[in-house]
Amino acid sequence: MIAQVRQRLSPPVIALLLAIALFFAGGLINPAFVNLTQAINIVRLAAFLGIIAAGQTLVIISGKEGIDLSVGAVVTLGAILVFRLSNGQNEALLYAIPIALAAGALIGALNGVGIVIIGIPPLVMTLGMAGVVQGTILVLTQGQLVGGTPPIMGQLISSPLIGPFPGVIFIWLAVGVAMWLLLERTRFGKHLFAVGVNRTTARLSGVRVPLVVIATYALSGLLAAFGGFILLGFTQTVFLNLGGPYLFPAIAAVVIGGTVLSGGKGSYWGTMSGALVLTLIDSLLRAMQLQEAYQLIILGFILVLLISIYGRQSDLRQ
């Protein structure tokens, strides 16, 4: 009986239920926590995290210790490129966005080549690439962050767009639909899962494994740069470590959403739930007005607890 319930309660469902429970638990601590403005605010914060975690979801599904630690740096680079190239002009976005996305995709593709052609472990390759990107940012900007955020970005991303809902929520939903289509309704998605489970089987079934892996890391870079663009719409300004703080929460969101670190199994709507859970925990701890240090300790414990619950699910192991 319990096993049956457990089977039906896949990790994304658990995460989503947890998010709802946390929201109302927030109301017990502080009745002001449960209202529409607060809910919208939380979804908006989760949206940034969720968009940045989209590429990470793909990379982790690709297996073989797949992980992309260059995401934080690429988010920063994407934001800086848009900031600089557009220089506050709405029309300039027409080329600033494609250039930023292409830069992200190129960095990701280089990661993919290093990993699948040269055979560098993903952790090492992407960590090294994070350093290279950070360094490149310093060289290009000389530490001087000149430019501007086009006003339309603020309108489309962070200000209320339809009713009280800011644009970023709709963008996040669109990313969600696109990711679902990509993973579940394209050949690439099916091949990505196959590559994540067993690369020999995939190759002997006609999957071009190196191409899939390179494309996956390239997509991760592209989505990170896109995340930088979105983040810029919120912060309106750039700084050198804009994306850094999102790197590990994004990985945690993917794992909380039930995507298996060993690869081959996962979903983006799980990651979306994971992003909501993390943002809620964070907001709740803030609402409790705990010291930052205690917040971190509690957050760490919750993560370990959640992931150990998932780990016990038999169908996740083997």
Partner 1 sequence: MKVSLSAQHIVKRYSGVVALADGNLNVESGQVVALLGANGSGKSTLSKIITGVVAPNEGQLLLDGRPVTFASPQAAKKAGITAVYQELSLIPDMTVAENIWLAHEPLQFGVRINRREMRRRTDALLDLFSGAFHTLDADALVADLPPDEKQIVEILKAFSLKPRVMILDEATASLDSRQVDRLFNLIQQWKAENLAIVFVSHRMEEIFRVADRATVLRNGITVGDVAISETNERELVNLMIEASATPRRHERTVAADAPVRLSVRGLRTQALKGIDLEVRDGELLGIGGLQGQGQSELLLALFGAIPWTGEVTLSGEPVHFRHPRAAMEKDVAFVPGDRASEGLLYIRSILENLLLPSWQRYGIPLQLDRGRQDATRIADDLGLVRPSMDAPVSALSGGNAQKVVIGKWLLRNPKLLLLNDPTKGVDVGAKAEFYNLLNDLRQAGTAILFYSSDDVELLELCDRVLVLHDGKVSAELSGSDLNRANLVAASMGSGHMNHEPA
Task: Name the residues that contact partner 1, by CB under 8 A.
Answer: 181, 184-187, 190-191, 193-194, 197-198, 200-208, 264-265, 315, 318
As measured in angstroms, the least distance from the Cβ of 7 to partner 1 is 11
As measured in angstroms, the least distance from the Cβ of 175 to partner 1 is 17
Instruction: HSE, CB side, 13 Å, CA atoms: give it for residue 77.
Output: 32
Min. distance of Cβ 162 from partner 1 in angstroms? 27
Q: How far apart are CA 290 and CA 273, in angstroms?
A: 24
CB of 263 to partner 1, least distance (A): 10
The alpha carbon of 271 is separated from its chain's Cα centroid by a whole number of angstroms, namely 8
Question: Rounded to the nearest whole angstrom, what is the least distance from the CB of residue 92 to partner 1 in the complex?
Answer: 33
Smallest distance, Å, CB 220 to partner 1?
A: 21
**Which residue lies nearer to partner 1 by CB, 232 or 260?**
260
Number of C-beta neighbours around residue 9 at 10 A: 12
List helix spans (H) across 160-291: 167-184, 187-197, 199-204, 209-235, 247-256, 268-287
Closer of 29 and 181 to partner 1 (Cβ): 181
Tokens of 166: 């800011």
Of 200 and 291, CB closest to partner 1: 200
Name which of 208 and 286 has its Cβ closer to partner 1. Answer: 208
CB of 303 to partner 1, least distance (A): 24
The SS3 assignment for 145 reads: coil
Cβ distance to partner 1 smaller for residue 119 or 206: 206
CB-wise, 155 or 198, nearer to partner 1? 198
Q: In whole angstroms, how far apart are CA 218 and each of 70, 127, 201? A: 12, 15, 23
Mention every residue, 6+ apart, whose C-beta is less than 8 A from residue 176: 50, 268, 269, 272
Contact 177, 20 (CB under 8 A): no
DSSP 8-state secondary structure symbol assigned to residue 88: T
Q: Which is nearer to partner 1, 101 or 207 (CB)?
A: 207
The 3-state DSSP class for residue 196 equals helix
